[in-house]
Chains A and B, each alone.
Chain A
Amino acid sequence: MIQFQHVFKSYGQGANILADINFSITPGEFVFVSGPSGAGKSTLLKLIGGLEAPTRGSIIVKGQRMDQIGNRARPYLRRAVGVILQNMHLLYDRTAFENVMLPLAVIGLNSDKAAARARAAIEKVGLSGKEKLNPIALSGGEQQRLAIARAIVNKPAILIADEPTANLDQASAQKILEVFRDFNRVGVTTLIASHDLELLRRHANRTLLIEPGRFKDLGTHA
């Protein structure tokens, strides 16, 4: 599903943020990407989501080499990857419902089907009844769930989230992780970047550890 082969990433003339990264993730896996702040977790997720290009090496997502995809085809691959970035990127001049409708407008789904699918996504993340609210009126945890709803509404094969539990209390973080688990149970390959070691300890999952100058696949641990 996802394959990194000798991937390097640097910005400008700076040092490599990621150096010689090799791993592969099979369909339906639930993987944590861990490491301290600034180690390159977000960069790794952005590479998978096609939001950044590697400096060297090849990345294969859903059987397609990212570096060989033209600019015109790249958006179509992005639709197969649901992305939740650290700052969520919600649109605060629209309602929660309209935020979730955006990916459906992008694929040109008819309004009835789109509305039904958006409602279903909102229900899945537990935000029913809050469709008409502006995201600013939602709590941090609810905003995170709204971002998840928007990421999964197009039924992506891969779901990646960057620090989705940061700034949330333990109960809210637990609920968010449960939402990801639910999607993973139905076959969505899920990658979550987190520096919260306590969270990783509580969840027995495969973990990729990124530290400055070091990358290690820790495998699945209990």
Chain B
Amino acid sequence: MKTWIRHHFYAMRIAIRRLLATPFSSLTNIAVIALVLALPLLASSILVSMEPVARNVSVNPAITLFMKAQVPLAETRELGEQLQQENQAYIEKLEVIDKNDALAGLRASESWSNALKVLPRNPLPNSIVVTIKATGDQASKAQELAQTWSSLPNVDTVQFDSAWVQKLDAILSFTRGVLLLLAIGVAVVVVGTVFNTVRMQALVQREEIAVARLVGATESFVRRPFLYLGALTGMAAGVLSLLLTTFGLASLNGAIARLSQSYGTDFVIRLPDVTWLATAIVLVMIVAALAAQWSMTRHSRF
């Protein structure tokens, strides 16, 4: 076990020495991988920042039934119970809203309170807000229910108000797809860059490899420093891409914050959490080490 650990320390030391021996070449490789890595990292940042927005506004369709002005609250409640019983399989939540409560709510809002003062009576009707269960086909089901309910005698208007949220959800799904493609692209770039770096290193270190074999080194011993070289390159590129993305977001968020404040929100793009970032860097290290292993298998047969 101790020998195994010593072999790994030796390999890491040799890998660091080789990286430092060619600083310009090493930095160029790291910078190329880091720039490519920064793209999916930025996309992930946008995704993780947008998801809470989509979660806060229900993605499930919500239907609002505005009753005719003369329909009293008791009848509205009755209709609510009837709808709940008839469509239990589709309804997640049903809420009857008293027009007086709705008015009180509006009065609490500074921008509405002045306008409402000039009205002689409450212009709002009683209403029922129905949230549809997420079943996969909830959008079409909501459409169908909205159409049926709009023909009920006491219902004045039916508003199906979550289409934009569904669009947002579709955009997020699309972003996830793009992220996957970017991740595959990054993997290809990491493999290509590390493969070529290790190939060059294997040629440069040809004499050392031959001597190591001469004095009884196993193939694992010969290859291990190159695997560390790949993994260290991946790690350095991961950290550099993190820094680049952080600086990029810092400048972007200034403009985004000004824009979102004009809409009364405080939306900013933030990096994914530490676990996500650490996992991403470890994955890049593994891909880079595997690329190094592949390259060594192909280029160390001399």
User: Which residues of A line the B interface, CB within 8 A?
Assistant: 49, 51, 71-72, 75-79, 83, 85, 89-91, 93, 102-103, 105-111, 150-151, 154
Q: Which residue of B lies closest to A101 (CB)?
A: B10
Give Cα distance in the complex from A154 to B275, angstroms.
Answer: 46
Q: Which residue of A lies closest to B217 (CB)?
A: A106
Is B208 touching A91 in the complex (CB atoms < 8 A)? yes
Q: Knowing A89-B207, A91-B207, A108-B6, say if A51 contacts B214 (CB, 8 Å).
A: yes
Q: Knowing A91-B208, A106-B221, say if A85 contacts B6 (CB, 8 Å).
A: no
Residue B216 is within 8 A (CB to CB) of chain A in the complex = yes
Give Cα distance in the complex from A111 to B9, angstroms.
Answer: 11
Q: Knowing A91-B208, A105-B10, A108-B7, say if A85 contacts B2 (CB, 8 Å).
A: no
Give Cα distance in the complex from A54 to B6, angstroms.
Answer: 35
Residues of B within 8 A of A83 (CB): 214-215
Give Cα distance in the complex from A106 to B2, angstroms.
Answer: 13
Which of A72, A108, A110, A150 makes the CB contact (< 8 A) with B215?
Answer: A150
Q: Which residue of B lies closest to A99 (CB)?
A: B211
Residues of A within 8 A of B4 (CB): 108
Is A110 touching B216 in the complex (CB atoms < 8 A)? no
Known: A103-B215, A107-B3, A108-B6. 17 other contacts (CB 8 A): A75-B216, A75-B218, A75-B219, A79-B215, A83-B215, A91-B211, A93-B21, A103-B216, A105-B7, A106-B212, A106-B216, A106-B217, A106-B221, A108-B4, A109-B6, A111-B6, A150-B215
Chain B CB count within 10 A is highest, among A72, A75, A90, A110, for A75
Give Cα distance in the complex from A103 to B216, angstroms.
Answer: 7
Residues of A within 8 A of B221 (CB): 75, 106
Residue B258 is within 8 A (CB to CB) of chain A in the complex = no
Residues of B within 8 A of A90 (CB): 211
Give Cα distance in the complex from A110 to B3, angstroms.
Answer: 8
Is B217 touching A108 in the complex (CB atoms < 8 A)? no
Residue B210 is within 8 A (CB to CB) of chain A in the complex = yes
Chain B CB count within 10 A is highest, among A49, A79, A102, for A102
Give Cα distance in the complex from A78 to B218, angstroms.
Answer: 10
Residues of B within 8 A of A79 (CB): 215-216
Residues of A within 8 A of B93 (CB): none
Chain B CB count within 10 A is highest, among A93, A106, A109, for A106
Chain A CB count within 10 A is highest, among B21, B212, B215, for B215
Give Cα distance in the complex from A105 to B17, angstroms.
Answer: 15
B127 to chain A, nearest CB (A): 78
Is A102 touching B218 in the complex (CB atoms < 8 A)? no
B88 to chain A, nearest CB (A): 68
Q: Knowing A89-B210, A91-B211, A108-B4, say if A76 contacts B10 (CB, 8 Å).
A: no
Residues of B within 8 A of A75 (CB): 213, 216-219, 221
Give Cα distance in the complex from A107 to B212, angstroms.
Answer: 11
